[in-house]
């Protein structure tokens, strides 16, 4: 969808549909909605009076103009109560109204800037949210569907503003929103892809493509190089698969004056059967998405490279399949990580922390700081927090607070989980330095504490997206399937750290 910011009057726009809005409880529409109402001889006010338009959040009402305007249809988007209005609600309602207009076969649509008047939202932030919500809400994954879709695509969206002074800031917001939304949709594409099309090699090919398109540096370590570096934990997980493992590294340099680099790490298990500790068959097809964290950090680097903040950043993705086989690693095996620390394998289905252990060691060796890893690490986190928010753990409260703040701005909910020393008792081993699984209680916490063993004093945050990486229903800008959760948080973090450094 092409997106443009134009100067003009929404009542004069020629399009298949125009979008205005209404807060709940408003009896007489004002502003642009009032102007459209006047052109329609009071039709909107009449329907409000009759109770057919209430302005409730996500309520979408369609009025046919019958030639009274240059557009065929007017969509009135309900914004909910004014006191509850947020930027994230702009994302949500933009997604809902765009999907509705796609159903009505609209190709060219135009919208006013939601909430920039009495809603109290900065116009630039509103424009960014409109674009993000629209592109995220219209997303679908049809690569392997041969049947032609019943609904066509919306081809063009115009964001209309009467005040020409605001156009530049709206364009900046639109560009940022488009870059971030497209990066999120890239992560969704990668995570939705079938495991036979998204192997470790395919992930490496995506990284190569991103590097070429956006001027990133890329390095892909092969099995022999990982052997030489002592990455026996990652390579142990890979033993059961015929697909060769990869350690994918994408780098962005936005500050040549600094040697410091922000490190993003993402779990890249392209299919997780559980290995010898085999999972049950129910829902096993969803395990193609166990590389969601890897997709998120790669997509975030692509967005950062386009937005060009004055900061250096690197994404590290250990990628492999976890399959059973005659050569597969087994419960009871002992693996040695790159740091030299030995690990007793209690369950081969706790493989994500094993590959991330070596990735964290690699990131530390590269001097990356702070470190943020994103992983579909534990079912326990999904049990604890459901699909509403992801769990966040870490060893640096200032960094945790910063990430929670930027995630809230991005519309991605994080909840801090404890890291008490007492939980470490569960992962003590009698035959190795550490074991990869504790008891069935507090599994998300012991998983995070396992990772912490390989971070030591480096500022670090772990984000467990097991519950948020996938959605079973469509709601607002969240669609069924992969969500791309985490991309917007990581991009916002890089932008914020760069801005703070400049300030």
Coil vs helix vs strand at 314: strand
Q: Compute CA distances 169 → 163, 250, 494, whole Å.
A: 11, 31, 20
d(CA 11, CA 448): 55
In this predicted structure, the answer to whether residue 245 has a pLDDT above a threshold of 90 is yes
Amino acid 100: pLDDT:
97
Q: What is the pLDDT of residues 335-381, one digit of tens each?
A: 999 999 999 999 999 999 999 999 999 999 999 999 999 999 999 99
Coil vs helix vs strand at 10: helix
Angle between helices 292-307 and 200-214 (to 10 degrees): 10
Q: Among the CATH numbers 3.40.220.10, 3.20.20.140, 3.40.50.410, 3.40.50.740, which is that of 2-180?
A: 3.40.220.10
- Minimal CA–CA distance to 406: which of 470, 338, 490? 490
Coil vs helix vs strand at 500: helix
In this predicted structure, the answer to whether residue 418 has a pLDDT above a threshold of 80 is yes
Annotation marks residue 279 as catalytic: yes
In this predicted structure, the answer to whether residue 503 has a pLDDT above a threshold of 90 is no
- Output the CA angle 48-52-56, nearest 5 degrees: 80
Amino acid 359: pLDDT:
98
The distance from CA 429 to its chain's CA centroid, rounded to whole angstroms, is 36
Q: Would you state the structure tokens that stand for residue 297, as one six-digit string?
A: 């950090």
pLDDT band of residue 150 (cuts 50, 70, 90) is confident
Fold of the CATH domain 194-502: Aminopeptidase (3.40.630)
Is 328 in contact with 274 (CB distance < 8 Å)?
A: no
pLDDT band of residue 154 (cuts 50, 70, 90) is very high
d(CA 415, CA 393): 9
pLDDT band of residue 117 (cuts 50, 70, 90) is confident
Using DSSP bridges, classify how beta strands 17-23 and 217-221 pair: parallel, antiparallel or unpaired.
unpaired
**Residues carrying CATH 3.40.630.10, the chain:** 194-502
Amino acid 502: pLDDT:
75
From the list 107, 108, 279, 480, the catalytic residue is 279
d(CA 158, CA 154): 11
**Residues carrying CATH 3.40.220.10, the chain:** 2-180
Percent of the chain surpassing pLDDT 90 = 96
Q: What is the pLDDT of residues 174-218, one digit of tens each?
A: 999 999 999 999 999 999 999 999 999 999 999 999 999 999 999
Buried b or exposed e, range 398-432, using 16+ CB within 10 angstroms: ebbebbbebbbbbbbbbeebebeeebbebbeeeeb
Q: Would you state the structure tokens that stand for residue 282, as one six-digit string?
A: 């129910």
pLDDT band of residue 119 (cuts 50, 70, 90) is confident
Annotation marks residue 353 as catalytic: yes
How much is the pTM?
0.97
Is 347 in contact with 237 (CB distance < 8 Å)?
A: no
Task: Compute the Cα dihedral for 225, 230, 232, 234 and give only its sign.
Answer: negative
Secondary structure of 367-405 as H, E, C letters: CCCCEEEEECCCHHHHHHHCCCCEEEEECCHHHHHHHHH
d(CA 180, CA 3): 14
Secondary structure of 437-487 as H, E, C letters: CCCCCCHHHHHHHHHHCCCCCCCEEEEECCCCCEECCCECCECCEECCCCH
In this prediction, residues 396-402 reach a mean pLDDT of 98
Block residue for tokens 């250990």: 318
Least confident of 1-5, 95-99, 119-123, 443-447: 119-123
In this prediction, residues 127-149 reach a mean pLDDT of 96
From the list 353, 382, 435, 488, the catalytic residue is 353
Q: Would you state the structure tokens that stand for residue 111, as one six-digit string?
A: 């919208």
pLDDT band of residue 407 (cuts 50, 70, 90) is very high
Amino acid 266: pLDDT:
98
Backbone angle region of 29, left / alpha / beta, with phi > 0 → left and psi within -120 to 50 → alpha: beta
d(CA 436, CA 291): 19
Q: Is 285 exposed, middle or buried (0-12, 13-18, 19+ CB in 10 A)?
A: exposed
In this prediction, residues 80-105 reach a mean pLDDT of 97
């Amino acid at each position: 969808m092409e997106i443009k910011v134009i100067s003009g009057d929404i009542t004069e726009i020629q399009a298949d549909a125009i979008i205005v809005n209404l807060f709940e409880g408003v009896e007489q529409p004002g502003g642009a909605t009032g102007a459209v109402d006047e052109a329609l001889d009071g039709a909107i006010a009449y329907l409000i009076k009759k109770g057919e338009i209430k302005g409730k959040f996500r309520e979408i009402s369609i009025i046919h103009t019958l030639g009274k305007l240059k557009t065929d249809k007017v969509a009135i988007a309900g914004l909910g109560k004014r006191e509850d209005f947020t930027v994230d609600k702009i994302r949500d309602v933009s997604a809902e109204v765009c999907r509705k207009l796609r159903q009505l076969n609209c190709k060219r649509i135009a919208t006013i800037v939601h909430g920039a008047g009495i809603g109290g939202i900065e116009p630039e932030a509103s424009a960014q949210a409109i674009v993000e919500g629209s592109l995220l809400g219209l997303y679908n994954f049809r690569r392997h569907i041969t049947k032609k879709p019943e609904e066509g695509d919306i081809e063009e969206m115009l964001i209309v503003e009467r005040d020409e002074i605001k156009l530049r800031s709206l364009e900046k917001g639109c560009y940022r929103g488009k870059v971030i939304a497209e990066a999120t949709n890239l992560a969704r594409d990668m995570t939705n892809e079938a495991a036979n099309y998204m192997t470790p090699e395919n992930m490496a090919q995506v990284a190569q493509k991103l590097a070429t398109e956006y001027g990133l540096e890329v390095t892909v370590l092969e099995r022999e190089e990982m052997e030489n570096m002592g990455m026996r934990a990652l390579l142990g997980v890979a033993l059961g698969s015929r697909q060769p493992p990869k350690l994918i590294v994408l780098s962005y340099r936005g500050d040549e004056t600094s040697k410091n680099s922000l490190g993003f790490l993402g779990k890249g298990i392209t299919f997780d059967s559980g290995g010898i500790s085999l999972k049950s068959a129910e829902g096993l097809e969803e395990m193609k998405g166990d590389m969601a964290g890897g997709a998120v950090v790669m997509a975030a680097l692509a967005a950062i490279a386009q937005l060009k903040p004055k900061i250096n950043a690197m994404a590290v993705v250990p990628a492999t399949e976890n399959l059973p086989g005659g050569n597969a690693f087994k419960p009871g095996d002992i693996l040695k990580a790159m740091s030299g620390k030995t690990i007793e394998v209690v369950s081969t289905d706790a493989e994500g922390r094993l590959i991330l252990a070596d990735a964290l060691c690699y990131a530390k060796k590269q001097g990356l700081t702070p470190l943020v890893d994103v992983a579909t690490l534990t079912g326990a986190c999904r049990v604890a927090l459901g699909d509403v928010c992801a769990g966040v753990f870490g060893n640096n409260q200032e960094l945790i607070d910063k990430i929670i703040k930027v995630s809230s701005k991005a519309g991605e909910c994080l909840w801090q989980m404890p890291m008490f020393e007492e939980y470490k008792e569960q992962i003590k081993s009698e035959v190795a330095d550490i074991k990869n699984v504790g008891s069935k209680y507090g599994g998300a916490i012991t998983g995070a504490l396992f990772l912490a063993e390989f971070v030591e004093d480096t500022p670090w945050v772990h984000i467990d997206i097991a519950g948020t990486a996938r959605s079973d229903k469509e709601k607002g800008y969240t669609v069924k399937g992969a969500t791309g959760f985490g991309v917007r948080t990581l991009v916002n973090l890089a932008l914020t750290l760069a801005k703070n450094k400049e300030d």
